[in-house]
Amino acid sequence: MDSFKPTFHIEEAVRKVLPYMMEMREYFHANPELSDQEYTTSKMIFQELSLMGIEDAKIIAGTGVTGLIRGELPGPVILLRADIDALPLTEKADIAYASLKKGVMHACGHDGHAANLLGVAKILTQHRDCLRGTIRLAFQPAEEGCGGAARMIDAGILNKPAVDYAIGLHVAGGLSQGKVSIRSGGITASCDDFTIMLHGKGGHGSQPSHCISPIQMGVDSLQQIQSYVYNCRQDGDGIVLSFGQFQAGFNPNVIPDTAELKGTLRTYNESKRTLILEKMKHILNAVTTCYGGTYELQIVPFAPVCVNDARTTAKVASILKDKCTPFIQVVPQDRSSGSEDFAYFSAAVPSAFYYVGVNSGTVELHHSSDFQWDSAALKYMCTTMINIIYYFTSY
């Protein structure tokens, strides 16, 4: 570790920018937009970056926004990512800045992520003199299952200049304010949602031998797939396969022609992920062949395993412990069976992804219509990210 020190007081800078971040967070919260529909959100972010005089500010990957902040000192190119989309939920919280759109709300903290990165950008722009390296801002659209991170990469966000590292954070409703958590290696699971369409031969319920029941094929397929996963592949690696939908027929005495099953697969190992998806095809083929039916399998990959690079994560964890105490307490982080498409950035460049606590007494459940947190928690997000950026090359 070298003796470098910024020419400004980080905590004081964060206090000054906090009202701005709170205002922006509450604006985004009141005006939520679903994945790939973040038109007003991206326009507002672009305008704010332009007012800051940020280089290369532009719309990218549909409704994403990027910009570049060049420090006056040599150093790496670091991408900072904030997702910006909301969820299809109706907000229940009685707050002054509640969602103005029925059926749409920020129930996962992306409003805070966007506001935090704007605050970070403001501080970085004001203190380029001691900024070592270049910061690539990534306000990412469509994190909630629509491939926004992959599209930003396809649009070239990791090039010109070439990005060396990526840093991301996420609010944690189950973690108290003032606490952050991070771990090396796999931090969130891969996610593949799948739909199985089974085709049989319908008929009267009194004559099942004249039919090919897609319901029976569905039952057998479900049982065999889960049996394979939980008896043959469950080896402590946290593999999760769940069926959430099984639809077939409309009448008690009519065997339908088709049945549809939907589910999700979560793993922490890419080779096991690939193997299980391949085994699903074998099982479906065997079951439908036995009954005389057919199947269609559609797999929609959301994200691979999000892997924190060991060296990069060690740097970030050391900075949080050395530079953010006593404002921040670093606590252990377990692997999450949730998924995060920051994984596409982590697969492309050495990365670190961490969680910032926002609850102030009660656990806030993400993706819930009751999800709420105090905007003042933005100070913890901003403080950690600014320290990471300015001290990154010191570790």
CATH number of the domain bearing residue 174: 3.40.630.10
Reduced to 3 states (helix: H, G, I; strand: E, B; else coil), residue 26 is: helix
204 a known binding residue? no
Structural domain includes residue 2: no
Q: What is the reported pLDDT for 365?
A: 86
- Where are the alpha helices (H) located in the chain, listed in sequence order? 10-30, 39-51, 110-126, 148-154, 214-227, 270-291, 310-323, 343-348, 378-391
Query: Would you state the torsion angle of the CA atoms of residues 326, 329, 330, 336, taken in this order, to the nearest 10 degrees?
Result: -150
Q: Do 157 and 102 share a structural domain?
A: yes
Taking phi over 0 as left and psi of -120 to 50 as alpha, with beta for the rest, 374 belongs to beta
Q: What is the pLDDT of residues 130-184, one digit of tens each?
A: 999 999 999 999 999 888 999 999 999 999 999 999 999 999 999 999 999 999 9
Helix (H, G, I), strand (E, B) or coil at 176: strand
Q: Are 167 and 202 members of one domain?
A: no
Report whether 9 belongs to an annotated binding site.
Answer: no
295 and 315, same structural domain? no
Compute, in degrees rounded to 10, the torsion defined by CA atoms 245, 251, 253, 259.
Answer: -30
Domain match, 295 and 214 both: yes
Question: From CA 140, how far away is CA 376, in angstroms rounded?
Answer: 23
Are 290 and 319 found together in one domain? no
Domain limits for position 255? 190-301
pLDDT range class, residue 269, cuts 50, 70, 90:
confident
Residues 6+ apart with CB under 8 A from 390: 6, 10, 130, 131, 132
Residue 3 lies in a domain: no
User: Tens digits of per-residue pLDDT, 35-80?
Assistant: 999 999 999 999 999 999 999 999 999 999 999 999 999 999 999 9
Q: Is residue 79 domain-shared with residue 144, that is, in the same domain?
A: yes
**Contact 93/372 with Cβ under 8 angstroms?**
yes
Q: Over range 363-374, report the average pLDDT.
A: 89
Q: What does the pLDDT look like over 308-367, one tens digit per residue?
A: 999 999 999 999 999 998 889 999 999 988 899 999 999 999 999 999 999 988 767 899
Same domain, 268 and 379: no
Residue 110 among known ligand-binding residues = yes
| Inter-residue contact 213 to 189 (CB < 8 Å) | no
Closest-CA residue to 259 (of 222, 230, 226): 222
Q: Are residues 184 and 214 in the same domain?
A: no
- Rounded (10°) CA dihedral 169, 173, 175, 178: 70
The response to whether 367 counts as a known ligand-binding position is yes
Task: Determine the pLDDT at residue 270.
Answer: 84
Q: Give the list of residues 6+ apart from residue 339 with CB closer than 8 angstroms, or none.
A: 188, 189, 190, 191, 266, 302, 303, 306
Residue 148 lies in a domain: yes
* Number of structural domains found in the chain: 2
CB 288 within 8 A of CB 294: yes
* Residue pointed to by tokens 């990469």: 153
Do 317 and 182 fall into the same domain? yes
pLDDT of residue 361: 82
Largest CA distance in the chain: 83
144 appears as a binding residue in the annotation = yes
Compute the distance between CA of residue 354 and CA of residue 76 in angstroms, rounded to an integer.
Answer: 20
